[in-house]
Amino acid sequence: MKLLEIKNLSKSYGELQVLKDITFDVSEGEVVAIIGPSGSGKSTLLRCATMLEKISGGEIYCKGEKMAETVGGAVRYANKASLKKIRSYFGLVFQNFNLFPHMSVQRNVTEALTVNKKVPKAEAVKTAQKLLIKMGLGDKAESYPCQLSGGQQQRVSIARALALNPDILYFDEPTSALDPEITGEILKVIKELAAEKMTMVIVTHEISFARNVADRVVFMDGGVIVEQGRPEEVIDNPSSPRTKAFLSHFSN
């Protein structure tokens, strides 16, 4: 089953076109890594899929439900109720975590459950505790984000996203704001999720990680998907000269 389908998506800021005619989909259980140079549009693609940016053209379906379409050149989003439902299908992990600094770690995880999903507090706390233990943060429930390291904060934000039980989890450069030695702990968590068949789309600069964990690697440049395929094809044996040029900067 396709959890995400994007057809002919374009995105412009005024004159500047950052995404050009992107067609892209993600099947259930798949782990997709999107790589490419800065400004290639990979984060924008993720932001369009998570409705943080409005698309300029094309169609997006989430779990088969229409999020947005383009009719006669005009983009039409689904109604508010449908969008609310669609929003519950995915989670997003930000580069800068974006935890709520005034809430405890536990409350960061439970707040959306109790407020938006009307889950009873005791049940939400249970869910949070389970996830925090899974993230190796069982003893940090009462801490505040400012008391945690960057890697710990990012793990809280992964727990926060997982608490809502999304069908698909997006990562927008989850390790870019972290020290190199901390990067590993986040990558390990993502790997564990991949082993549990969590559907994930990861925008990343970690090429070797992409090769290790992804079922499919997508290389973007200049607002288009240049090539995609199995990691051993795209990363070890790229067919496009642009992919080759980009990957030559990473000598393992």
CA distance 18 to 66: 23
Smaller CB separation from another protein, 24 or 90: 90
Smallest gap from residue 28 Cβ to another protein (A): 20
210 contacts 132 by C-beta, under 8 angstroms: no
Residue 33 or residue 164: which is nearer to another protein going by CB? 164
Amino acid at 11: K
Interface mask toward another protein for 70-89; x: CB under 8 A: --------------x--xx-
Task: Work out whether 132 is an interface residue with another protein (CB under 8 A).
Answer: no
Is 117 a residue that touches another protein (CB under 8 A)?
yes
Nearest CA-CA partner of 40 in 214, 189, 205, 196 = 205
Cβ proximity of 40 and 221 under 8 Å:
yes
Give residues 144-183 in contact with another protein (rule: CB under 8 A). Answer: 144-146, 160-161, 164
State which residue, 161 or 193, has the beta carbon closest to another protein. Answer: 161
Sequence length of the chain is 252
Beta strands 168-172 and 90-93, pairing class: parallel
Tokens 């889950």 correspond to 119
Among 27, 50, 70, 129, binds another protein (CB under 8 A): 50
Alpha-carbon distances, residue 234 vs 198, 231, 238, 244 (angstroms): 22, 5, 5, 9
Cβ atoms of 192 and 223 closer than 8 Å:
no
Q: Which of 54, 76, 115, 197 binds another protein (CB under 8 A)?
A: 115
Q: Smallest distance, Å, CB 24 to another protein?
A: 19
Nearer to another protein, 99 or 189 (CB): 99
Site for another protein contains 135 (CB under 8 A)? no
Binder of another protein out of 13, 23, 39, 116 (CB under 8 A): 116
Q: Give dist(CA 60, CA 12) in Å, integer.
A: 16
Task: List interacting residues with another protein (CB under 8 A).
Answer: 50-52, 84, 87-88, 90-92, 94, 96, 98-102, 111-112, 115-117, 144-146, 160-161, 164
